[in-house]
């Protein structure tokens, strides 16, 4: 179908829908659909549905598909989908079409070139890659299925016998290595077993009651199976020791309240690392997105339930033409459809009180005094704590959903609680101690976290725009797809954190240490870096047009050839270690590790 015919079809369909809607309801067509009309003639646009008013990548994935922004082409056959529950519609335009993998245009030559790259990246998957060269499916379907097989995961969420490491080295095959693929698989199997049982306690009981040989057959790695076969003397002791070790291992696992709730609801669990790995592979091959159906109907390769769609692996792959809100989102607390204009608990004094094993829903504590209070093992949903004094508050093992903490004083609070889609805009969270919590999708815009100590957190897709992070310390925290636009980072420390695909674009980083972190795909373009240390996985890191002074780089694999240093300005001395590290084109390191431009 030509673009002209498609545009005409869209126009006529929208007009027909508008006329029919007014005739049948006596009302004008909804405003959000009216807004779509102005994009009818532009062509090449995509539509993404979101639950929050910002475009981002949700790392939580119920499907075994790459992590990314999923969108539909601006085509009238998808108009019915505009009535989905998601309240926000994003009109997207692709920034660089040459960076897209268009499955219908993908050739045998393209396939062979990409398979060559995959063979270099994943030498332990040579057989799968060679099988792909003999595949009878289309080139587009073959490359998609091959990447799926490399990061294979079955429908129950147990990782298949594939390596999740981006590049596999011989040490990774050592069964005594805690980071080996066998141990990764074993932990995944134990985690899945815990989820099937519902919680850790039930899982330990079930494992304790299970015969030793059954435990071994269920969880043994290939290396352990081989050692058991070679053991000619103490097989019973071997099995008893293995069972004891598995019980100890499952005791060390953790499962958040959100994950347990998903399990109770019967939702499938997919390892985020697998979905993220898939998107990283596509980006390593040079693709910022995949399109199934551009000029023609798609083939359902991305997902069989959606014949035509696209997925974009970074927010920079597209530009938002407009965000349309289908219905105004109610920001105030409501109860039984009525707005609480004068919330009953607002301004009250609850200092020092303990709230334990309670369910709070649609409660309002606006400007209330909760200083030194304690919330333990409670369900807190859609409550408003805006402007409240919660300094020194203890929050332990609660489940908090869609709550407002805008402008709340949480200075020095001690928190170990899961927060789902909660709002901390402008909150005073200085000197806070926050650990073992999930805050995915939460907003911290304009908040003050200076001097805070935050560890073992999930902060995927959180928004730290304009946040004060002076002297803040993060440990073992997942920041994938997190935004730091306009934040203050001075003396900030990130240790053992996952920061892949996070954006620091245009910021000034002073004496910031990012130690032993996953920094793959991090956007540090146009940054001023002074006294900054970058250590860990630095592949595909974007440092273009940044200014360096006293920067130190410690790539974990001794290779910086994939990073983008276009337009970098060096001021003073900057180093890389080890000195023999491979540098990107136009740069080199001398014998002492000093970085110089060629």
Rounded to two decimals, the pTM is 0.53
Backbone CA torsion sign across 61, 64, 70, 73: negative
CB < 8 Å & 24+ apart, contacts of 462-466: 463/54
Least confident of 32-41, 484-493, 568-577: 32-41
Helix (H, G, I), strand (E, B) or coil at 284: helix
Q: Which two tokens stand for residue 230?
A: 């070679």
Q: State how far the Cα of 521 lies from the Cα of 166, in Å rounded to an integer.
A: 13
Question: Band of the pLDDT at 8, cuts 50, 70, 90?
Answer: very low
**CB-CB neighbours of 37 under 10 Å:** 14
Query: Which pair of tokens denotes residue 121?
Result: 């990246």
| pLDDT given at position 127 | 86
Helix, strand and coil content of the chain, in percent to the nearest 5, comes to 30, 25, 45
- Asked whether 507 and 522 are in contact (CB, 8 A), the reply is no
Residue 428: C-alpha distances to residues 64, 161, 231, 406 (Å): 39, 46, 60, 9
Helices 108-121 and 272-284, interaxial angle, to 10°?
120
Average pLDDT, the chain: 78
C-alpha 81 chain-centroid distance: 25
- The CA-based diameter of the chain, rounded to the nearest angstrom, is 85
Would you say residue 222 has pLDDT above 70?
no
Task: Please determine, for residue 592, whether its predicted confidence score (pLDDT) is greater than 50.
Answer: yes
Under 8 Å between Cβ of 580 and 558:
yes
Average pLDDT value for residue range 310-327: 85
pLDDT in tens, 116-144: 989 888 888 888 888 888 888 999 999 99
Residue 532: predicted pLDDT: 97
């Amino acid at each position: 179908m030509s673009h002209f015919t498609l545009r005409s079809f869209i126009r006529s369909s929208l007009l027909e829908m508008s006329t029919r809607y007014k005739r049948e309801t006596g009302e004008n067509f909804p405003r959000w659909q009216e807004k779509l009309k102005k994009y009818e003639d532009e062509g090449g646009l995509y539509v993404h549905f979101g639950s929050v008013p910002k475009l981002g990548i949700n790392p939580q994935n119920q499907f075994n598909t790459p992590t990314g922004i999923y969108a539909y082409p601006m085509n009238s056959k998808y108009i019915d989908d505009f009535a989905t529950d998601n309240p926000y519609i994003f009109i997207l335009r692709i920034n660089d079409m040459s960076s897209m993998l268009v499955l219908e245009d993908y050739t045998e030559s393209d396939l062979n070139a990409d398979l060559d790259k995959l063979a270099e990246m994943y030498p332990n998957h040579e057989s799968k890659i060679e099988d792909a060269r003999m595949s009878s499916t289309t080139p587009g379907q073959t490359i998609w299925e091959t990447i799926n097989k490399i990061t294979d995961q079955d429908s129950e969420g147990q990782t298949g016998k594939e390596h999740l490491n981006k590049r596999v080295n011989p040490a990774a095959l050592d069964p005594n290595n805690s980071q080996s693929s066998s141990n990764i698989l074993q932990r995944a199997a134990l985690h899945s077993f815990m989820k099937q049982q519902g919680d850790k306690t039930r899982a330990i009981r079930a494992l304790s009651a299970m015969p030793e040989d059954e435990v071994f057959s269920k969880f043994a790695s290939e290396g352990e199976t081989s050692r058991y076969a070679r053991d000619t003397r103490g097989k019973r002791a071997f099995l008893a020791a293995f069972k004891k070790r598995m019980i100890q291992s499952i005791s060390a696992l953790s499962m958040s309240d959100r994950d347990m709730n998903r399990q109770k609801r019967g939702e499938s669990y997919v390892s985020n690392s697998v979905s993220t790995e898939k998107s990283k592979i596509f980006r390593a091959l040079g693709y910022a997105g995949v399109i199934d159906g551009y000029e023609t109907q798609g083939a359902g390769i991305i997902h069989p339930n959606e014949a035509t769609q696209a997925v974009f692996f970074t927010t920079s792959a597209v530009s938002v033409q407009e965000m349309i809100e289908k219905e105004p989102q109610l920001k105030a607390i409501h109860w039984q459809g009525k707005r609480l204009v004068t919330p009953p608990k607002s301004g009250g004094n609850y200092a020092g009180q303990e709230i334990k094993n309670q369910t709070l829903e649609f409660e309002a504590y606006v400007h209330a005094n909760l200083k030194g209070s304690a919330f333990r093992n409670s369900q807190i949903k859609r409550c408003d704590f805006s402007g409240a004094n919660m300094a020194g508050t203890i929050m332990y093992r609660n489940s908090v959903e869609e709550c407002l903490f805008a402008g709340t004083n949480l200075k020095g609070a001690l928190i170990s609680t899961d927060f789902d889609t909660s709002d901390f805009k402008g909150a005073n969270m200085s000197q806070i101690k926050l650990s073992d919590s999930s805050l995915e999708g939460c907003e911290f815009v304009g908040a003050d976290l200076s001097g805070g100590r935050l560890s073992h957190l999930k902060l995927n897709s959180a928004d730290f725009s304009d946040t004060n992070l002076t002297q803040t310390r993060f440990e073992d925290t997942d920041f994938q797809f997190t935004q730091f636009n306009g934040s203050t980072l001075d003396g900030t420390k990130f240790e053992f954190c996952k920061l892949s695909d996070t954006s620091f674009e245009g910021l000034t980083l002073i004496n910031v240490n990012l130690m032993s972190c996953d920094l793959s795909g991090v956007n540090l373009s146009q940054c001023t870096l002074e006294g900054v240390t970058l250590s860990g996985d630095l592949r595909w890191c974007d440092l273009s047009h940044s200014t360096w002074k006293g920067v130190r780089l410690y790539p974990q694999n001794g290779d910086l050839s994939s990073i983008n240093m276009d337009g970098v300005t060096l001021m003073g001395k900057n180093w890389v270690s080890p000195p023999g590290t491979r540098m990107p084109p136009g740069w080199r390191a001398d014998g002492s590790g000093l970085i110089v431009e060629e």
